[in-house]
Each structure stands twice: as C-alpha cells, then as structure tokens.
Structure 1
Amino acid sequence: MTALPTPQQLWLSFFFSKKNNGAKRSEAILNWIAMSTFELKTHQVGKAYSNPHFFILNKGLNSGKPLSNPCPNCFVVTTSTEKEKNTLYHLSMMLQIGGFYAYYLKGSVIPFISIYDCRNTLKNSFISLINNEFQLQKHINMVSAISKKEAELQKVISKMADLKVSYIQSLFSKMQKEAI
C-alpha cells in the first residue's frame, strides 16, 4: 500500500511537475506581479484616494489618456508606490499615443473603452516590459523628453500666435488713427 502525499508534497509537485511548463509558471507569476502592482477602478466623483494614483479618460476619442486630475468619465489607477504610479502613467500615455487603446473603442456616437479592455491592455503591456526594467525606464525617459519638448514648442507657437494678433491689431489701430 502506498502512502498519500502530504500537502507540502502536492504543493511542490505543482511547481516541479513536468506537466506544468516554466512558461506558464512565469506567466502566472508575472500576472500576479502586475495585478499586485496596480488596481484599476471606475472613478467616483468626489472620492479622495490616499495611495498614489492617476486617472485614465474612458470616453471620447482620447480614451486611455492618463490624467493628473479626475473628470466624470475616467478610471482611477491606484498603486502602492510613487515609482509604480509614474511608470504606469507613462506606460498609459505611450499606449494612448500609440493608438493601442483605440483598438478597443466601442460605440458609434461617443466611443468609450471598457474597464476590462483598459485593465488588460495596461496589464499586458506592463508584463511584457517589466522583464527588462532598464529598457522600460529608457523608453519612459525618451517619451517624457519628447513630451516636454513638445510642450515647449506648443508654448512658442502660442506666443507666436499672440504676437501675430498683437501686430495685426496695432497695424489696424494705427491705420484707423491715420484715417481720422
């Protein structure tokens, strides 16, 4: 008669059995890491969050856009650390700019992304990039630098538009004074 395996032996056999290949184990571990890193929920207007957090727009053509301040149509992503928040914020920005959220937009009048699609897109992207954290940080830094330069150029363009309006206004006001 053979002895029944102990609970410890059963537990260890799960990890070391030939049926359970390493890819599935590592995928399960990465899924657990991604899900323990952040939580994505529908934002409730007026609710305050104590953990580091940011918001993701869920309606309109800009669905997936990360936001620092809440709006009525957004999800909230809460994390345990500020570093995780910044990583996920920039990852979400890259996904939105790259059009990866746009694939999941539903609706004909006002397109929206479901919480399930948003969560899975963010989670799967995080999992695929977390294996090489150095590369992820490099990509985030590059996108941040490009965004910062873009904002600077937008300010310059805005000032040039203001300058053009001022020039035209002063030109016509000078012409009106000469006509009088």
Structure 2
Amino acid sequence: MKAVKISTYNPKNQKSNFELYALCKGLNSGKPLEQPCPNCFLIQCKNQQELDMYRNLLFGLWKAKAFHPYLIGSVIPFIRINEFKTLLAEQIQHLKGKEKIFKADVQKVKALEVKERQMYEQLLLISELKRIYIARHLRK
C-alpha cells in the first residue's frame, strides 16, 4: 500500500472524496474523526478500501494509546506530524497481510464498546430508580 498524503487540516483547502481526520492535540491525539476540527491532521486516501484501512488503523492505535509516548507539551499535549506519519507508516508495514484479521478485531472492539455503552446506560437507570424509590417516601 502506497503512503497516503498526511497534512495539517486547513479549512481553505479543497475537500476530496476519500478524506479522514485525526485529532492532533490533547490526550485523544490520533483519534479518528469523521468531521474536521481546527486541531487535526488530514489523511487523503486514494480509494474507499484505503480509507477504511486507515480508519481502522487509527482507531486501533488510539484505543491502544499508541500515540501517548509521542505526545509533547506540558499544558496541552500534542503529537508532531512527522512522528504521526512515521508511526502510521510503521504500523501499515507491520499489518501487511494481516488486514482482515485486524479489521475483524477492530469490529469486535467496536461491538464491545456498544455493549459497554448499553451497560453504562442501564447502570444510570438503576441508579435513578433507586433514588426514585427512596425519594417517593420523603416529604418535599
């Protein structure tokens, strides 16, 4: 897979069909984004397959906190674009031939996140229900 073009996002630049964004500032640096923000990198892919591969790769690296060792800055940590490019290139090389297995694992992680969100919402409902049971016996 050829290297994609990675640059700092500028809203004045023309948008292409196969673009992906990655947050570059804060503890969520590297997080893949569907919509651009002022603090993000632009990843321009050649086709949908390449876009999906980079989206899955970014999601996996972000979840594994692979960008954390590269963060610099004391108040608002950020990742430099050269280190971002190098890390992505290394990981793409490492994943050659394992794309299907990696994609399946990313899908499993996303499914687990959905379950986790559902459980969290259920816990909030249980907590609210406990509060209501007690509150209905108290004077207002």
TM-score (norm 1): 0.70
Matched, 1:175 2:137: yes
Q: Distance in 2 between matches of 1:60 and 1:45?
A: 20
Match in the other structure for 2:36: 70
1:32-47 residue pairs with structure 2 within 5 A?
A: 33-35=1-3, 38-45=4-11
Q: CA deviation at 1:115?
A: 0.9
Greater shift, 45-54 or 146-155, is seen at: 45-54
Name the larger-Rg structure.
Answer: 1
Opposite residue 142 of structure 1, the aligned amino acid is: D
Match in the other structure for 1:103: 69
Tell me the SS of whatever aligns to 1:121.
helix
Count of aligned residue pairs for this structure pair: 140
TM-score (norm 2): 0.87
Matched, 1:57 2:29: no
Residue deviations 1:121-157, cap 9 Å, x none?
A: 1112112222x1xx22211211221222222221222
The sequence identity of aligned pairs, in percent, is 26
Matched, 1:147 2:115: no
> Structure 2: which 5+ residue stretches go unaligned?
none
Q: CA deviation at 1:42?
A: 0.9
| Bigger RCO of structures 1 and 2 (CA < 8 A, at least 6 apart) | 2
Q: Distance in 2 between matches of 1:170 and 1:54?
A: 48
Residue deviations 1:64-89, cap 9 Å, x none?
A: 11111222211111111111101011
Tell me the SS of whatever aligns to 1:175.
coil
Residue deviations 1:59-113, cap 9 Å, x none?
A: 0111111111222211111111111101011111112222321111111111100
Computed over aligned residues only, the root mean square deviation of the Cα atoms, in angstroms, reads: 2.0
Match in the other structure for 2:128: 165
Matched, 1:122 2:85: no
Pick the structure with more helix per residue: 1
Q: Distance in 2 between matches of 1:157 and 1:94?
A: 22
Matched, 1:91 2:57: yes
Opposite residue 153 of structure 1, the aligned amino acid is: E
Greater shift, 151-160 or 70-79, is seen at: 151-160
> Structure 1: which 5+ residue stretches go unaligned?
1-32
